[in-house]
Structure 1
Amino acid sequence: MFGKLKSMFGGGGISIPAPVAGEAVALSEVSDPTFAQGILGQGCAIKPTVGRVVAPVDATVSMMFETGHAVSLDTSDGVELLIHVGLDTVMLKGAHYTPHCATGDKVKAGDLLMEFDIDAIRAAGYDTITPVVVCNADDFSNVSFKTGSVEAMGDLLTLKK
């Protein structure tokens, strides 16, 4: 009860942990203008150090891309989250990606969503930076993020209604 009241009146907010370990940076540091200019939404990006993406929160997989390079999640808090591993990696047609979920799946925080081979993707000439974007950021008064080293399931995004 008090948690709901607190969130209604600006306290706390919604936490979205990091879906992958690495270094969190501002979206403006992503070389793709679609992400850098916030066209898809607000958030941050992670330069991954591990090729595993986990569900940061309990959610429904609204779309697991056929190529396995990206996944979008709908949370019970109303957050529409896109996790996009790498830039232009759709061109790899699924090579070096192993999805572990499908569109429509219900996932729990910490569930493995996909694995990817960082070295093979880089060797193919692609950047593995991973934007983590709140696609419906306009539904929130503020989207803030942590920068620097992050662990999977560690602090990353905070959203305020």
Structure 2
Amino acid sequence: MLKKLFGKKETSETLLAPMTGKQVKMEDVPDEMFSNKLLGDGIAIEPTEGKVVAPIDGEVVQFSNTKHAVGIKSKNGLEVLIHIGLETVALNGEGFEGFVSQGDKVKAGDKLVTFDLPFIKEKADSIISPVVITNFEIVESLTKSDEHNLVAGESIFMTVDKKVDA
């Protein structure tokens, strides 16, 4: 009985904004892979500074060798992809500095990556940076922040409730 009463709380995750900047709806991301939610749902950010922090406590399960994308898995199994800019893989890591490696444990607010924002603005297709729940099949509900201007490591970005049986 207690597990049923408190089960939802155990399966809820609050994500902090991984970047400071303006919130952008996923549907408005100028890349069909993200706007059509082919990788999952979430929110994008148009960053105003070049720093990415962990949105949740978890383990780095993916860190691109080009440093433009980081995947984190929470202890409850939620998988979050932070993709810095669009078509930034073509920069081959130029303009990015990583502070984590695959397998590292991170806490919400820990610095993951820094990037040269003016350089990325000039060289990439867009600086808009999607943050996606990639294993969306385990999500019961997703509540997105209505805050327009986000602060990295401080603003509540999304709240995710996992399916109880997931």
Which has the larger displacement, 122-131 or 69-78? 122-131
What SS does structure 2 have at the residue aligned with 1:103?
coil
1:13 shift after superposition? 3.0
Aligned to 2:30, what secondary structure does the other structure show?
coil
Q: Give the 5 Å matches for 1:82-97.
A: 82-97=81-96
- RMSD of aligned residue pairs (Cα, Å): 2.0
Contact 1:143–1:159 (Cα < 8 Å) also in 2: yes
Corresponding residue of 1:160: 161
How many angstroms apart in 1 are the aligned matches of 2:21 and 2:45?
Answer: 6
Matched to 2:39, the amino acid is L
Change in 2 beyond 3 A, CA 1:123/1:155:
same
Show the counterpart of 1:140.
139
Q: Distance in 2 between matches of 1:17 and 1:4?
A: 27
Q: Which runs of 5+ in 1 are unaligned?
A: none
Residue 144 of structure 1: CA displacement? 2.1
Q: Deviations over 1:12-55 (max 9, x none)?
A: 93211111111112100101000000000010101101100011
Q: Return the alpha-carbon distance in structure 1 between the equivalents of residues 10 and 89 of structure 2.
A: 39
Where in structure 2 are the equivalents of 1:7-156 lying within 5 Å? 8-9=7-8, 13-147=12-146, 148-153=148-153, 154-156=155-157
SS in 2 for 1:141: strand
Is the Cα–Cα contact under 8 Å of residues 8 and 161 in structure 2 kept in the other structure? Answer: no
Give the secondary-structure state (helix, strand or coil) at the position aligned to 2:156.
coil
For structure 2, the residue ranges without an aligned partner over 5 or more in a row are: none
Q: State the secondary structure of the residue aligned to 2:103.
A: coil
Kept in 1: contact 2:12–2:159 (CA 8 A)? yes
**Offset, 1:108:** 1.4
Partners in 2 of 1:40 and 1:15 — Cα distance? 20
Aligned length, in residue pairs: 159
CA distance in 1, matches of 2:97, 2:4: 38
